[in-house]
Amino acid sequence: MPVEGGSSSGSASATRHPKPKRKAHSLSIRRTNSTEERPQGIGRGDMLDGQDSKLPLSLRSNLLDLFGQIEREFENLYIENIELRREIDSLNERLAGDGQTIEGGDPSKGAMKTKASHSTSQLSQKLKTTYKASTSKIVSSFKATTGSRALCQLLKEYVGHRDGIWDLSITRTQPVVLGTASADHSALLWSIETGKCLLRYAGHAGSVNSIKFHPTEQMALTASGDQTAHIWRYMVQLPAPQPPPDVSAPCDDDQDSSDREEGEVDCDGPCEVPTVRVATATLKSHQGVVIAADWLVGGRQVVTASWDRAANLYEVETSELVHTLTGHDQELTHCCTHPTQRLVVTSSRDTTFRLWDFRDPSIHSVNVFQGHTDTVTSAVFTVGDNVVSGSDDRTVKVWDLKNMRSPIATIRTDSAVNRISVSANQRIIALPHDNRQVRLFDMNGVRLARLPRSNRMGHRRMVCCTAWNEENASCNLFTCGFDRQAIGWNINIPALLQEK
């Protein structure tokens, strides 16, 4: 962008001639020590008389005053320097009296100064060692933080999406696979053990915001920014098991996944796997982005949440709209169904979440809960009678379904909380944060651990969602973020609870 007036300034500088140098005049002002008194009968004007100078007498008098002030300041500094030297000598004598051998008898010698400084550094090192020992005892009291690397180890990274991953889920039927929903308009299915992409769904015309699997059949439900939700079938075959990965090296190479090019994928990426492009059923009654969807217990109905401020209930077999759940004042952010009962919870940007009850076919009651001060990003059921809600107000609240007037526990964090999940067996809450952290809490709000995060381990951008897998003997936690990757973690639950 051209700079205003640039050409005129350039021509002016080109025609500018060097100015003639002035003849330098030496300024000779006689200064007297401020501690010395002037001879009686001699004034300041008499002291300046007879000196060769072109300056006026008043100006020379002011300069003399200024030089006198400078000289007095230097005198004060000189006196302070002498006092400091005396203190140093006194400290050296004390060190010598404590058994420190100082070579040379003259304290002003360089050898003694070097030895004294060495002794002082030894004393300083002793103080630092004592300080570190005391602080280490304090730090060791935070067992969950210091031992998080041993309690939570990286299992596998799943890299292949070309944009951020909004949601992930684990299949409820065999074979157990991981599903991810991404802003690149696709959903991918992964082998948990090998990290290989098994199948790609490309039926949506917008960002895929949510993915959930049918409780008994090989079907998936995805919600999208194209204002629809799709139900599609999948068939996958797991690859042969491989040797366990080296947890010390979270990546197969030294290249960070966040530094990959936009179109770059692994050799087992989605371009080389089977692709499903046609949905079994398309649910399209919303007038805005469908942000989330979930199966009701039994898998015969699904619920969807949209930015049009409504949640819809559909029949799976006919794709028919059964109910439209309205009442939220702003866009919905999430929806979740109870694992054993016909209950639905929806969260919204209006700082509330609502509990919808479909257990009685003739009555569909709704309860509104106002426990947060900012957007409620997610609200999920536990296996018991609890609801856990997370919000942009940096809090997570645990509620009792039998008494929802006030939360039974409140977790306060230092960053906004995204889509949370609760383990079914151990009831551990996994909190994904905007600041790339993932923290684990129990239902009483006690912090258990934080997932490791470094330059080579953990997410490099916002963590969007978490999901638990407790089907095997070990407990696995999966996280996804806007760094275009999902990560599997092995959580040592016995050690975690023992640290608690």
* Rounded to 5°, angle at Cα 293 from 289 and 297: 160
Average confidence score pLDDT of the chain: 80
Q: What is the pLDDT of residues 469-488, one digit of tens each?
A: 987 557 999 999 999 999 99
Q: Work out whether the CA dihedral 119, 121, 125, 127 comes out positive or negative.
A: positive
Q: What is the pLDDT of residues 47-90, one digit of tens each?
A: 555 556 778 888 888 888 888 889 888 888 899 889 888 888 88
User: What is the reported pTM?
Assistant: 0.67
In this prediction, residue 240 carries a pLDDT of: 75
The amino acid sitting at 250 is P
Query: Can the peptide bond before residue 175 be classed as cis, meaning omega within 30 degrees of 0?
Result: yes
For 108-147, the pLDDT digits (tens) are 444 444 444 555 555 555 545 544 444 433 333 344 444 5
Among residues 332, 302, 390, 383, which one has the least CA distance to residue 209? 332
Type of residue found at 206: G
pLDDT digit string, tens, across residues 337-392: 999 999 999 999 999 999 999 988 777 788 999 999 999 999 999 988 899 999 99
CA distance 101 to 14: 70
Element (H, E) at 194: none
DSSP state of 234: -
Q: Does pLDDT of 241 surpass 80?
A: no
Q: What residues contact 215, with CB distance under 8 A and at least 6 apart?
A: 172, 173, 295, 297, 298, 299
Compute the distance between CA of residue 302 and CA of residue 295 in angstroms, rounded to an integer: 4
The angle subtended at Cα 163 by Cα 205 and Cα 251, nearest 5°, is 145
pLDDT of 271: 54
Decide if 171 contacts 177 (C-beta within 8 A).
Answer: yes
- Please count the residues of the chain: 500
* Closest to 419 in 3D by CA, of 266, 236, 294, 281: 294
C-beta separation of 158 from 485 below 8 A: yes
